């Protein structure tokens, strides 16, 4: 039976909840807005299956990539509506074209981030762009297993810990499963996102969350490197449009103020999730491949297996890249340091303090914190 000694022992993938044969595990939201498994000990049979599927307990082995590519979708429209180079869309369109299924993170009717699946090519756009909120995997692992057993091909896209959780949940390898993860900075609290969104609605006199028509965490109106959080109404009127240096939610995310505790000791770093492909923004492409860069978005693609390279060749501009570029991606091998002010932030928020001023107040790093962060980045580049 799972026993969480501390919050960082759970990454919230939901594998234990979905696999429990006694249905005695439920995912409950804590005071920080994150979900954790709660076990009904009276119903628990002590079978131990939940322990076997936990990615924190059963860490994968770190691996070396098969190949590294720079990639950009042939479709300019797709690139403009994607976080980076539109690589995920190429893979998803290939899968759904033959009636198979894609699972990814999208918004529900309340603008919460959840995992779900589709075989409809028209719905792929819902999975595009980063969602800077931890997604709820809900029953998605169960649905994926059912589809795989029925002979369907499934493409699953998620965080490294979610991919690892799915792989452990399935208990065996499926040739018809394709997995995509990304170089993950960490996942912010769904509870903070909910509070932030309500604050924005109140500030802009929007009476209901139903008045929102679209949310994009990676709007490229100001360019790929200066992306913005943009919220629009159903009438396509802008409710909010702020760059990553202006927007309080993005500032708090990038300052690691309300990431899940497990993100500060991530169990799935170093390409250890078992994914077939790892995708990231190719930051620094302007100096490495200047002719490839147009400030609209370039993907760094790490091929961990050879399952999907040919799909990319047919629909993307691609270029081989030296593995040295991975040294610039600190988060590939390292967990981010916990913000020194994290505990104070949540304590003060619990007293009813206004969210946005609180984020800005506690997003300021001390000199010592800035020094330690820079030192950890330098050491990472030396040893990785």
Per-residue pLDDT of the chain (384 residues; tens, 9 = 90+): 788 899 999 999 999 999 999 999 999 999 999 999 999 999 999 999 999 999 999 999 999 999 999 999 999 999 988 999 999 999 999 999 999 999 999 999 999 999 999 999 999 999 999 999 999 999 999 999 999 999 999 999 999 999 999 999 999 999 999 999 999 999 999 999 999 999 999 999 998 999 999 999 999 988 888 899 999 998 999 999 999 999 999 999 999 999 999 999 999 999 999 999 999 999 889 889 988 888 889 999 999 999 988 899 888 999 999 998 998 888 999 999 999 999 999 999 999 999 999 999 999 866 566 666 667 766 665 666
Write down the pTM of the prediction.
Answer: 0.94
pLDDT reported for residue 153: 98
Q: Does residue 123 sit in the same domain as residue 157? A: yes
Query: Are the CB atoms for 376 and 365 separated by under 8 Å?
Result: no
Q: How far apart are CA 29 and CA 190, in angstroms?
A: 9
pLDDT reported for residue 364: 82
pLDDT reported for residue 327: 83
Domain count, the chain: 3
Residue 273: inside a domain: yes
Q: Does residue 229 sit in the same domain as residue 125? A: no
Q: Does residue 350 sit in the same domain as residue 271? A: no
- Domain housing 240: 190-257+337-383
Residue 139: inside a domain: yes
Residue 290: inside a domain: yes
Q: Does residue 264 sit in the same domain as residue 165? A: yes
Q: How far is CA 346 from CA 45, 65, 259, 290, in A?
A: 36, 39, 11, 43
Provide the angle, in degrees to the nearest 10, between the axes of the packed helices 342-349 and 355-362. 160
Q: Phi and psi (nearest 5°) for 180? A: -130, 125
Q: Which of 294, 318, 333 is the last residue of a domain?
A: 333
pLDDT reported for residue 68: 96
Q: Does residue 117 sit in the same domain as residue 247? A: no
Q: Does residue 169 sit in the same domain as residue 88? A: yes
pLDDT reported for residue 84: 92
pLDDT reported for residue 264: 96
Q: Does residue 311 sit in the same domain as residue 322? A: yes
Residue 232: inside a domain: yes
299 has which bridge partners? 71, 281
Residue 180: inside a domain: yes
Q: Does residue 231 sit in the same domain as residue 170? A: no
Q: How far apart are CA 142 and CA 150, in angstroms?
A: 13
Q: Does residue 205 sit in the same domain as residue 165? A: no
Question: Token pair for residue 186?
Answer: 């960490």
Question: Token pair for residue 12?
Answer: 């919230």
State the alpha helices, DSSP H only, in 289-366. Answer: 309-315, 330-333, 342-349, 355-362
Q: Does residue 179 sit in the same domain as residue 198? A: no
Query: Are the CB atoms for 303 and 67 separated by under 8 Å?
Result: yes
Residue 62: inside a domain: no
């Amino acid at each position: 039976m799972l026993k969480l000694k501390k919050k960082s022992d759970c990454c919230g993938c939901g594998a234990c909840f979905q696999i429990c044969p006694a249905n005695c595990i439920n995912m409950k939201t804590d005071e920080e807005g994150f979900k954790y498994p709660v076990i009904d000990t009276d119903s628990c049979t002590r079978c131990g299956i939940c322990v076997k599927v936990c990615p924190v307990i059963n860490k994968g082995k770190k691996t070396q990539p098969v190949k590294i590519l720079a990639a950009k979708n042939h479709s300019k429209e797709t690139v403009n509506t994607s976080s980076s180079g539109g690589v995920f869309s190429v893979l998803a369109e290939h899968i759904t074209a033959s009636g198979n299924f894609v699972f990814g993170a999208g918004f529900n009717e309340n603008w919460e981030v959840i995992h779900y699946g589709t075989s409809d090519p028209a719905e792929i756009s819902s999975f595009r762009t980063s969602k800077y909120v931890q997604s709820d995997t809900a029953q998605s692992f169960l649905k994926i297993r059912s589809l795989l057993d029925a002979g369907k091909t499934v493409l699953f896209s998620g965080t490294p810990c979610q991919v690892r959780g799915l792989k452990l949940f399935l208990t065996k390898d499926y040739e018809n499963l394709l997995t995509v993860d990304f170089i993950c900075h960490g996942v912010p609290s769904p509870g903070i996102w909910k509070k932030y969104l309500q604050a924005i609605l109140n500030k802009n006199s929007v009476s209901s969350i139903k008045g929102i028509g679209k949310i994009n965490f990676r709007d490229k109106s100001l360019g790929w490197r200066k992306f913005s959080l943009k919220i629009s109404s159903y009438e396509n009127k802008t409710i909010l449009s702020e760059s990553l240096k202006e927007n309080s939610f993005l500032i708090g995310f990038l300052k690691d103020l309300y990431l899940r505790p497990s993100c500060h000791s991530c169990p799935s770093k170093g390409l250890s999730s078992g994914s077939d492909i790892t995708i990231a923004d190719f930051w620094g492409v302007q100096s490495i491949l200047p002719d490839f860069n147009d400030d609209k978005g370039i993907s760094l693609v790490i091929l961990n297996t050879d399952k999907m390279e040919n799909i990319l060749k047919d629909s993307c501009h691609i270029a081989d890249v030296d593995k040295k570029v991975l040294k610039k991606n600190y988060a590939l091998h390292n967990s981010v340091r916990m913000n020194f002010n994290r505990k104070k932030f949540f304590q003060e928020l619990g007293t009813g303090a206004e969210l946005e001023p609180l984020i800005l107040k506690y997003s300021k790093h001390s000199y010592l914190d800035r020094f330690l962060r820079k030192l950890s980045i330098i050491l990472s580049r030396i040893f990785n």
